[in-house]
A and B are shown apart, each in its own frame.
Chain A
Amino acid sequence: MSILTVVLNIVVIVLISFGVFFFATGTVGFLRFPDFYSRMQATGKCDTLGVVLSCTGVALYALHDGLSLGNILVSLKIMFIAVFWFLGGPTATHALLNSAFKSGILPWTKDGKAIIEWPPK
């Protein structure tokens, strides 16, 4: 095993561990947050960074047999998963919250005011 492979493996392990950490945080947040809106915050969001980190890690790992054309194509495809997640993830989260808002679910708040003007005067 060459020194380059060792370095690559360490980078991959670090990236995927952080990815898994953010996924786990998203799930913990989903269980702990009080209402529908804040739960979607946790699951829809921590996944963003989780997907990017894990996909980068897997894409790098696909290169560890050497830089052949096939390997580069595979890791490019994996990176495109992250790109499409960036486009699709927020849209799905927004669609869920939009329909919740339209069907009249109000968010859990501390002071009872669901909608406030911004910036405060």
Chain B
Amino acid sequence: MPMRYFISFIIFFLLWVIWSGQFDFFHLSLGVISCVLVISISHDLLFQRKNFQKKDITETARFIKYIPWLLYQIVLANIHVAKLALHPRMNDLIDPHIIRFKTKLRKDMSLVTFANSITLTPGTITILIRDGYYFVHAIDMKVAEDLPGEMEERVCHVFMEDSDG
């Protein structure tokens, strides 16, 4: 049995236990049945590669390291937007635009992570990804200056774009 089935099963079952909170035989066996059912349908979503590799662990570890940095950026940018929203001269300060920039990311997973990270940090929303171009709505030039910049580098690093294309 491939390793990735086993690991997905453990993750799913852990979530089941957290949500059900019942530890008798009946509820746990229901959990086992539904986890097996879900994995048999959608086992290829969690781990994209055919075989479970060491890369998956590195990727997960790097992704977990990426989250605190993202949270910090969210707090910084959120305070910036809160300041804009409450500023008396708000109309002079904002300068909204849709900006278009080219990305070097190729994998689906990193494109989605980067797009969601852009949308999570306040002041910027990804509108469209087309042919390697991102269309991003930015509320002012200050938040736009940070794009693509460091965030793209970090997403690139997390999903190891350089090592396997």
> Contacting B116 at CB < 8 Å: which of A28, A90, A101?
A90
Counting residue pairs across A and B whose Cβ atoms lie within 8 Å, the total is: 128
Given A49-B75, A90-B119, A101-B135, verify A41-B100 contact (CB < 8 Å): no
Q: Is the CB of A29 within 8 A of B97?
A: no
Given A115-B135, A116-B99, A118-B101, verify A48-B122 contact (CB < 8 Å): yes
Which residues does chain A contribute within 8 Å of B81, judged by CB atoms? Answer: 25, 29, 41-42, 45-46
Q: Is the CB of A97 within 8 A of B125?
A: yes
B144 in the interface (beta carbon within 8 A): yes
Nearest Cβ in chain A — how far from B78, in angstroms?
Answer: 4
B110 in the interface (beta carbon within 8 A): no
- Chain A, interface residues (CB within 8 Å), range: 35 or more
Which residues does chain B contribute within 8 Å of A44, judged by CB atoms? Answer: 119, 125
What CA separation (Å) do A66 and B48 show in the bound complex? 41
What CA separation (Å) do A40 and B126 show in the bound complex? 12
The chain B residue with its CB closest to the CB of A41 is B139
Which residues does chain A contribute within 8 Å of B136, judged by CB atoms? Answer: 118
B132 in the interface (beta carbon within 8 A): no
The chain A residue with its CB closest to the CB of B94 is A38
Q: Is the CB of A94 within 8 A of B101?
A: no
Contact stretch, chosen from B36-44, B57-65, B85-93, B157-165: B85-93
A32 in the interface (beta carbon within 8 A): yes
Q: Is the CB of A107 within 8 A of B78?
A: no
The chain A residue with its CB closest to the CB of B23 is A69
Q: Which residues 84-143 of B have a CB within 8 angstroms of A?
A: 84-86, 90-91, 94-101, 115-116, 119-120, 122-123, 125-128, 135-137, 139
Counting chain A CB atoms within 10 Å of each CB, the highest count among B74, B81, B144 belongs to B81
Q: Is the CB of B98 within 8 A of A115?
A: yes
Nearest Cβ in chain B — how far from A67, in angstroms?
Answer: 15
> Contacting A118 at CB < 8 Å: which of B91, B122, B123, B147?
B147
Apart from A38-B94, A107-B97, 16 more pairs, CB < 8 Å: A25-B86, A29-B85, A32-B90, A33-B94, A34-B91, A46-B122, A48-B120, A87-B116, A90-B119, A94-B116, A97-B125, A107-B137, A109-B96, A116-B98, A116-B99, A118-B147
